[in-house]
Amino acid sequence: MTYRIVSDSTSNLFTLSGNIDYRTVPLKILVDGIEYVDEPGLDTEALVAKMEASQWGSSTSCPAIQEWLDAFEGADYIFCVTITSGLSGSYNSALNARDIYVSEHPEAKIYVVDSLSTGGEMELIIEKIRECMEKDLPFEEAVQIIQDYQTHTHLLFTLESLSNLAKNGRVSPAVAKVAGLLGIRFLGRASEEGTLQQAHICRGPKKTLTMSFSEMVKMGYKGGKVRIHHCLNQAAAEKLKNLILSEYPHADVTVTPCTGLCSYYAERGGMIFGFEDY
Ligand code: X90
């Protein structure tokens, strides 16, 4: 049996350490008529600059069914992880691909995980799947473990601008306007349904940092794993990491840059962090 993990590019992970076969399927970003494919080699910094200077507008699109099918080809046991179905068609596209693949390969098993989230929380889910595969657990048992794990993972994010989310109808213009005020940052969370929910409005970077940490603790964080993803904001991500480590010195906390799609929506300075509630 060949095992494989397939994720869309909103996990911000093009490679996975360990020996499990892992691949990603890209989302796309269209800025002023030019398509940017969210795959290795895409220059995130240049993309962000292009979108900030955009004259004619921009949008994004999720993977086509065929792209998922190509990523499934050759594997028998597949775990597929997508960005929340509450904000993107990626999950639906993957479900369609699963149905086609399984009808053509009756021996294959595919479980499509709707992360109800993105970025750092997807990374946590992918790592848990890797753990199950490394232990060679039966497919159904791994599915159970992942479903249970998802009830113990959460996502918070801090954004300096919500204008791309508003432009593409993923958040109301009224909410985006408040967050667009100078020096105001939006602290949000992924809701249970996988949509964007406001937690707080913070004034200034210092307050945003301490609020982020206290919100994590309020949501049940007790020193477990944290996966911080950021858009061109390594410094703030490291500060958050250090704050967490000052309270929980043994916590497993990592920092990873966003690739194209998450950078487009999180915008410059944005952070998206997934964490466990134990
Ligand atoms: O299908 C598509 O074109 C992609 C649409 C994606 C829209 C949202 C991406 C959000 C990325 C921003 C903050 C995190 C919000 C997560 C809430 C569940 C990052």
Class of domain 153-276: alpha beta
190 within ligand 1 shell (Cβ under 6 A): yes
Interval between CA 265 and ligand 1 midpoint (Å): 6
Please tell me the predicted confidence (pLDDT) of residue 174.
81
> Percent of the chain having pLDDT more than 90?
91
pLDDT, tens only, 93-105 = 999 999 999 999 9
Helices (H), 73-196: 90-104, 119-134, 139-150, 163-167, 173-179
pLDDT, tens only, 238-272 = 999 999 999 999 999 999 999 999 999 999 999 99
Question: Do 3-27+62-150 and 153-276 share a fold?
Answer: no
> Percent of the chain having pLDDT more than 70?
100
Q: Are 115 and 84 in contact (CB under 8 A)?
A: yes
pLDDT, tens only, 120-152 = 999 999 999 999 999 999 999 999 999 999 999
Q: How confident is the model at residue 72 (pLDDT cuts 50, 70, 90)?
A: very high
- Reported in sequence order, the residue ranges of 88-225 that DSSP labels E, i.e. its strands, are 109-114, 153-159, 184-190, 196-203
Domain ranges of the chain: 3-27+62-150, 153-276
Please tell me the predicted confidence (pLDDT) of residue 24.
98
Residue 176 in this model has a pLDDT that exceeds 90: no
Enumerate the β-bridge partners of residue 112.
80
User: Rounded mean pLDDT of 43-51?
Assistant: 98
The position carrying tokens 């992360």 is 115
Residue 178 in this model has a pLDDT that exceeds 80: no
| Average pLDDT score, the chain | 96
Residues 6+ apart with CB under 8 A from 246: none
Interval between CA 190 and ligand 1 midpoint (Å): 10
Q: Which atom of ligand 1 is nearest to the CA of 84?
A: 18
The position carrying tokens 């086609």 is 100
Please tell me the predicted confidence (pLDDT) of residue 189.
96
Q: Which atom of ligand 1 is nearest to the CA of 264?
A: 11
Please tell me the predicted confidence (pLDDT) of residue 215.
97
- Candidates 111, 115, 118; CA nearest to 137 is 111
Residue 177 in this model has a pLDDT that exceeds 90: no
First vs last C-alpha separation in the chain: 33
Entry pTM: 0.97
Query: Looking at the domain that runs over 3-27+62-150, which CATH code has it been given?
Result: 3.40.50.10440
Please tell me the predicted confidence (pLDDT) of residue 123.
98
Residue 181 in this model has a pLDDT that exceeds 80: no
* The token pair that represents 26 in the structure block: 């890209």
Q: Which atom of ligand 1 is nearest to the CA of 195?
A: 18
